A and B are shown apart, each in its own frame.
Chain A
Amino acid sequence: MEDQLIFTYIIDGDDFTRAGEASSSVKNKLKMLGVSSEAIRKTAIAMYEGEINMVIHANGGTITVTISDTDITMVLADQGPGIPDIDKAMQEGFSTAREEVRSLGFGAGMGLPNMKRFTDEMEIDTVVGQGTTITMKVNL
């Protein structure tokens, strides 16, 4: 069986300024493991976008990152409101973020499209009123 490293992070839903700490931690770990800088950049950007989304929309959640010989898999699970229309949410520029979030420079409707662009696989599993689980994979 191949070796795997698994890291789990609890994302705090209240503190917008701390969003990014989990992604930074993963980035540093991947650096120490000697992962290529391109794969690190892709993982860091996709995970940070996901982290921000969880704080903005879902009052936090958990992120599990699994690193194997062949890929990095991120599973982002929240118990937020769910995504009623995934096609719409995937459109660049479509956003339901609050004004306060926009004034910080986010909420431009780039989060999910960026997550897709920077990963090799992405799957969204969402139930309105129950939550969303997004699985993203970056190949090594």
Chain B
Amino acid sequence: MKLQTVLELPECKVLVKGNPDREISKVFCCDLLSIAMGKAPADSVWVTVMGNKNTLAVATLADVACIVLAEGISLDDGTLAKAEEEGVCILATELPVFDIALVIYEASGA
């Protein structure tokens, strides 16, 4: 599945587009950055409610393709601008973590 498929989901609002052609490896859910740092797979879509500058730093360093902020969580403009620079896609949704992860998983046709 390419990132484009996730970008097109009606459940998500696109905050930063990233690279739509990027191939996605997995959907990963975790709110503890300490754990996400070591466990988030490269090129994954990472669903979390932890929305701060460090979330982006972890995503960038662990090669995550896309952060999905669940439960209506958002990021400040400075962090979004940084995400744009780093080429990390940021999406936001009102759905809970499990629900949106399932939507993305089903869209992947896995």
Contact = CB atoms under 8 A, between A and B. Distances in A.
Contacts of B62: 41, 44-45
A106 B30 CA distance: 12
Interface in B11-49: 31-38, 42
What's the dominant secondary structure at chain A's contact region? Answer: helix
Contact of A24 (B32, B34, B42, B60): B60
A20 B54 contact: yes
B1 interface: no
B55 interface: yes
Contact of B34 (A20, A41, A105): A105
Contacts of B50: 104-105
What's the dominant secondary structure at chain B's contact region? Answer: helix
A60 interface: no
B59 to A, nearest CB: 10
Interface residues of B, number: 21
Given A111-B34, A117-B38, A104 B58 contact: no
Interface string B57-79: 11011110000000000000000
Contact of A104 (B33, B42, B60): B33
A27 B32 contact: no
26 contacts: A16-B54, A19-B57, A20-B60, A23-B57, A27-B60, A27-B61, A37-B42, A41-B42, A44-B62, A45-B38, A45-B62, A48-B57, A48-B61, A49-B37, A104-B33, A104-B50, A104-B54, A105-B50, A105-B54, A105-B55, A107-B34, A108-B32, A111-B34, A114-B34, A114-B37, A114-B38
